[in-house]
Amino acid sequence: MDGKELRQGPEKRPIIEVKNLTAGFGDEVVLKDVSFSVYPGEIFLVIGGSGCGKSTLLKHIVGLYPPMEGEVIIDGDDITTAEDFELYRILRKIGVLFQSGALFSSMTLWENVALPLQEFTSLPEDVIDILVRMKLQMVHLEGYEEKFPSELSGGMQKRAALARAMALDPKILFFDEPSAGLDPVTAAEIDLLIKQINTSLGTTMVIVTHELESIFAIAERVIMLDKEEKGIIASGDPRELKEKCKDERVQNFFNRRPALVPGKKRMGATEKCLGK
């Protein structure tokens, strides 16, 4: 039995369950009746082309927006109905790395990483200092505590934002396009760091991306969204999807082909490749 089977075996309940989620803005439905589960310690990717709803899905899972319909269960608690203290307790279990990094430009790296600890714990300052330095060391930024975000490269800013996302030792880390705007070498370094943290801490990772290199480097399992379908058209190991899934939309994505080729009949567009 491999690691994936162990994580999804009967003794393991999902740490995230999305049930019949319909999401959108105003009268526009972006996602309709989406359901899937994520298991503890898994590196789970949400993939698909631009405009398919990847970031919208992530923002609904972390509670930034309420769904039109459906449930989002995080570690046994429904984030869609929780209020006040209950919602606060649930959100303590997660950390989020946004696409831009979202570091406070007027604060040093130490201050950025310390902020969640100062706001949400009663730890003394000397303990916070130790924790901040530990988190920065984990992302290979020791010695940069007094630097401002503007003094760092894009990759270093992403790593600093990851240190802040890990400040409260969350069970789950969410990433929105962690490699966006980075050169291939720096993007590969971020991928390696994600795998190292997952291996050393066992943190569950949910990652939104369309970067093929990252998908094949880190994903244990993926779901693929489609703009026209407004939902999931494929799920499973990305390597198996590339080799075996006959849905033309999936093949176009993994082989970086245009969605429509003039004069070619579209085949298999409705054949979903949905694994476990």
Q: What is the pLDDT of residue 243?
A: 92
Q: What share of the chain is helix, strand, coil (3-state, %, to 5)?
A: 35, 20, 40
pLDDT of residue 263: 43
Position 2 scores a pLDDT of 46
Q: Taking the model in full, what pTM does it have?
A: 0.87
Confidence at residue 119, expressed as pLDDT on a 0 to 100 scale: 86
CA–CA dist 61, 79 (Å, integer): 8
Residue 154, pLDDT score: 86
Quote the CA–CA distance of 20 and 166 in Å, as a whole number.
29
Report percent pLDDT > 70 for the chain. 90
- Segments in the chain below pLDDT 50: 1-6, 10, 261-269
Q: Which of 253, 215, 196 is nearest to 46 (CA)?
A: 215
**Considering the domain 3-93+170-258, what is its CATH architecture?**
3-Layer(aba) Sandwich (3.40)
The domain limits of the chain are 3-93+170-258, 106-169
Centre a 10 Å sphere on the Cβ of residue 269 and count the other Cβ atoms it contains: 17
Query: Integer distance in angstroms from the first to the last C-alpha of the chain?
Result: 15
**pLDDT of 251:** 93
pLDDT, mean over the chain: 88
